[in-house]
Amino acid sequence: MKKSIKKINAAIVIIGNEILSGRTQDINLIVLSKWLNELGVKIEEVRIVPDDETAIVHTVNFLRVRFKYIFTTGGIGPTHDDITSKSIAKAFNLKYGKHKEAYKLLENYYGAKNFNTGRKKMAMMPIKSSLILNPSSGAPGFIVDNVYCLPGVPSILKSMLGGLKNKIIGGKKIYSETISIKTVESEIASSLEKVQKKYNNTEIGSYPFFKQGKIGVSIVIRSPEKKIIIKCLNEIKKFIRKKKIRIIIRN
């Protein structure tokens, strides 16, 4: 009997009215998912919530008891609608106020003359939280228990992940392989299901596409075991050849 592989899971909470309104396209999900896959952490749920304290508190409290890690993005900046820090303090019933270490970091970064009210606000957070250092713009993120609060600006968020690597205990790295073929999903559904049932510890997904005048399906295989991916891929290629379906690209 095959030994099942223990999964380390996570959820992402994307915070911001600008995401919900469609004015801003979220990129952080892609950045975080790829980074966590490398660490062997699987994203199993993503939620987008407005800049609303009740919504943030409810969502974080619901998810943090169900997932190993929670990552929030957005709402820790200097403006009035940046309320994530205060909301996280409320979710954990912690005191919200000036975080001494964060305040000192920001004061040194901007200098006393330029350390204005908005910038001081970025040092306001749950006072017992641990900091996530920010090599790009100085303003730190923070950690409370299993909740990791990061900024919404993708380039800044990405620069902060290196400082978190040793704080995240993951499982095996999750590998993936994609093969794109010229067909429709209904043509391969039955054959693909048979392969999936045979390798139930591996994820096999099919995603139809239409680009550059080509109709096709991308098949994505994800597993922490490279050998299993190769076996799945070989079986998929076998039924593809049998059905005389053309492979467009493999990556």
The one-digit pLDDT tens for each residue of the chain (251 residues) are: 344 445 799 999 999 999 999 988 899 999 999 999 889 999 999 999 999 999 999 999 999 999 999 999 999 999 999 999 999 999 999 999 999 999 999 999 999 999 999 999 999 999 999 999 999 999 999 999 999 999 999 999 999 999 898 899 888 888 889 999 999 999 999 999 999 999 888 999 999 988 777 789 999 999 988 999 999 999 999 999 999 999 987 65
Architecture of domain 175-250: 2-Layer Sandwich (3.30)
Rounded CA separation 88/95 (Å): 10
Indicate the CATH number of 8-167 among 2.30.42.10, 3.40.980.10, 3.40.50.1000, 3.40.50.720.
3.40.980.10
Q: Are 223 and 182 in contact (CB under 8 A)?
A: no
pLDDT attached to residue 85: 98
Q: Is 69 exposed, middle or buried (0-12, 13-18, 19+ CB in 10 A)?
A: buried
Whose structure tokens read 């070989």?
234
pLDDT attached to residue 3: 43
- Domain limits, the chain: 8-167, 175-250
Q: Is pTM, for the whole model, over 0.85? A: no
As a residue count, the chain comes to 251
Phi, psi of 233 (to 5 degrees): -60, -40
